[in-house]
């Protein structure tokens, strides 16, 4: 047998076999030998890698055939097209190899140029490859981005990750492939279960994002005063991070946006310690949480008096009805006087939605007009406002 050389760059284009596929090929070769010759170029193997490995291990004779190609770039294109000719490719593998073919031809032709020739409709490289494989030129360009991302994953995470993507073992949208690299960097312990198909990328991303948020809260909390240390106020404004028992979907889960608190944790906050004997509470609550909102109001030492409603111009999600409004429950303790007649607001706030969970700024102005003289604090606040004290992890 002639000496055969292995070029790692050529080998990188060869479709990997699963353990099961490799063992089946091995059993077949034991029974029938190697019927088809291996293909070489200048002594370098370019087709038959798995058969060569088995033949070497079992010391089985094989034949070779030399192919005439002008240079390494032509060899790589030949290997890619040979892989694309296989019948058992996954959709990910087909996409990967079309992308590699596009990049190879672009390199040889100096870009995605139109082909030249008399009486021939000019076509770009992407259009020509698209026509060969029955897809669109846009698909070919997306394939090229996918193949680059897969190669980057192979470099940063390992070839086993590349194989898992191409065989479909990892269920991941093509546009999200590089997220595996982020997971490798931020939480490497999750790579193995992802490669085995035991965990999805979205599951792990949720875990990582939640851990980040919790750590941020812990870090910020270390610089915060306890609720009972911030002062004593007559106006309390609060938008608690309610925890829902039945999220509409994982993609819209509140936990994806910020860490939440269950009803007992919210009720147990020592709000009474920061309240004057005479005080008023403005408490945000959604329709599904209305009963819990009344419970919190009572546990914080207030008696329910009335409510306001925020009406949004667009319809949102919901389990029973699609929500378009939220409530502001108003509770009072002691003998707080009502606002002066001209300062009493409309019970309906009409304002557009902004970023997730943000409430309309106009409510600050409404409260300030109702009680301009009284000390004010916002709980669970996200930003500072002149004339107000704040308590919350984002303030």
* Tens digits of residue pLDDT in 355-386: 666 899 999 999 999 999 899 999 988 788 99
DSSP letter for 258, please: S
Q: What is the pLDDT of residues 221-272, one digit of tens each?
A: 455 556 767 888 999 999 999 987 654 444 444 444 456 888 999 999 989 9
Q: In which order are the strands placed within the sheet that holds 303-311?
A: 348-350, 303-311, 325-333, 275-286, 233-238, 376-379, 389-391
List of domains in the chain: 8-199 (no CATH), 227-391 (3.40.50.150)
pLDDT at 224: 53
- Exposed, middle or buried: residue 275 (CB in 10 Å: 0-12, 13-18, 19+)? buried
pLDDT at 357: 67
pLDDT at 296: 96
Q: In terms of Cα–Cα distance, which of 191, 189, 124, 203 is closest to 157?
A: 191
CB of 342 within 8 A of CB of 321? no
d(CA 95, CA 140): 8
d(CA 129, CA 30): 39
Q: Is the pLDDT of residue 131 over 80?
A: yes
Q: In terms of Cα–Cα distance, which of 145, 27, 10 is closest to 83?
A: 10
Q: 309: which 2 tokens?
A: 């409603």
CB of 62 within 8 A of CB of 52? yes
Does residue 323 or residue 119 have the better pLDDT? 323
Q: How confident is the model at residue 153 (pLDDT cuts 50, 70, 90)?
A: very high
Average pLDDT over every residue of 283-296: 95
- Please state the length of the chain: 395
DSSP string computed for 186-248: H-GGGHHHHHTTSS-HHHHHHHHHHHHHHHHHHHHHTTSPPGGGS--EEEEEE---BPPSS-S
Q: What would you report as the CA-atom Rg of the chain, rounded to the nearest whole angstrom? A: 33
Average pLDDT over every residue of 267-289: 93
pLDDT at 285: 96
Mean pLDDT, the chain, as a whole number? 85
Average pLDDT over every residue of 293-310: 97
pLDDT at 1: 55
Report the interhelical angle of 159-166 vs 137-156 (nearest 10°): 150
Instruction: For residue 161, count other CB atoms closer than 10 A to its CB.
Output: 23
Q: Is the pLDDT of residue 2 over 80?
A: no
Average pLDDT over every residue of 8-14: 88
Q: Which residue has the tokens 């097209």?
A: 81
Q: Is the pLDDT of residue 118 over 60?
A: no
Q: How confident is the model at residue 196 (pLDDT cuts 50, 70, 90)?
A: confident
Q: Is the pLDDT of residue 292 over 50?
A: yes
Straight-line distance from the first to the last Cα atom of the chain, in angstroms, rounded to the nearest whole number: 75
d(CA 53, CA 288): 63
Q: Is the pLDDT of residue 53 over 80?
A: yes
pLDDT at 248: 46
DSSP letter for 122, please: -
Q: 289: which 2 tokens?
A: 């949480």
Q: In terms of Cα–Cα distance, which of 267, 208, 213 is closest to 242?
A: 267
CB of 324 within 8 A of CB of 314? yes
Which segment, 11-15, 141-145, 349-353, is predicted with the most confidence on average? 141-145
Query: Can you give the pTM of this predicted structure?
Result: 0.53
Spell out where the chain has E strands.
38-41, 44-47, 64-66, 233-238, 275-286, 303-311, 325-333, 348-350, 376-379, 389-391
Q: 198: which 2 tokens?
A: 């035991």
């Amino acid at each position: 047998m002639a000496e055969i050389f292995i070029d790692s760059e050529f080998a990188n284009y060869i479709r990997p076999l699963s353990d099961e596929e490799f063992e089946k090929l091995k059993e077949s070769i034991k029974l029938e030998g190697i019927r088809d010759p291996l293909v070489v170029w200048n002594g370098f193997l370019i087709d038959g890698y798995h058969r060569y490995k088995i033949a070497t291990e079992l010391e089985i004779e094989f034949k070779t055939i030399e192919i005439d190609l002008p240079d390494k770039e032509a060899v790589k294109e030949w290997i890619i097209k040979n892989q694309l000719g296989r019948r058992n490719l996954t959709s990910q593998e087909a996409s990967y190899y079309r992308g590699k073919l596009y990049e190879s031809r672009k390199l040889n032709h100096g870009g995605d140029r139109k082909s030249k020739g008399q009486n021939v409709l000019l076509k770009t490289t992407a259009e020509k490859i698209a026509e060969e494989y029955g897809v669109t030129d846009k698909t070919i360009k997306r394939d090229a981005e996918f193949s680059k991302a897969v190669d980057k994953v192979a470099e940063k995470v390992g070839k086993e990750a590349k194989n898992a993507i191409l065989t479909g073992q990892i269920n991941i949208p093509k546009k999200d492939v590089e997220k595996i690299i982020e997971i490798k960097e931020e939480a490497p312990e999750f790579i193995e279960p992802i490669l085995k198909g035991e965990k999805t990328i979205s599951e792990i991303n949720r875990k990582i994002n939640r851990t980040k948020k919790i750590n941020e809260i812990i870090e910020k909390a270390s610089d915060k005063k306890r609720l009972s240390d911030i002062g004593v106020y007559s106006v309390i404004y609060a938008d608690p991070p309610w925890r829902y028992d039945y999220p509409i979907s994982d993609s819209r889960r509140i936990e994806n946006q910020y860490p939440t608190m269950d009803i007992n944790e919210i009720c147990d906050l020592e709000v009474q310690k920061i309240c004057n004997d005479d005080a008023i509470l403005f408490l945000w609550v959604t329709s599904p949480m209305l009963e819990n909102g009344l419970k919190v109001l009572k546990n914080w030492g207030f008696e329910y008096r009335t409510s306001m409603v925020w009406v949004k111009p667009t319809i949102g999600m919901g389990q029973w009805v699609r929500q378009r409004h939220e409530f502001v429950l108003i509770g009072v303790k002691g003998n707080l006087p009502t606002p002066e007649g001209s300062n009493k607001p409309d019970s309906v706030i009409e304002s557009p939605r902004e970023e997730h969970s943000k409430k309309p700024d106009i409510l600050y102005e409404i409260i300030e007009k109702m009680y301009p003289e009284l000390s004010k604090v916002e709980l669970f606040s996200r930003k500072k406002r002149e004339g107000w004290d704040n308590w919350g992890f984002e303030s």
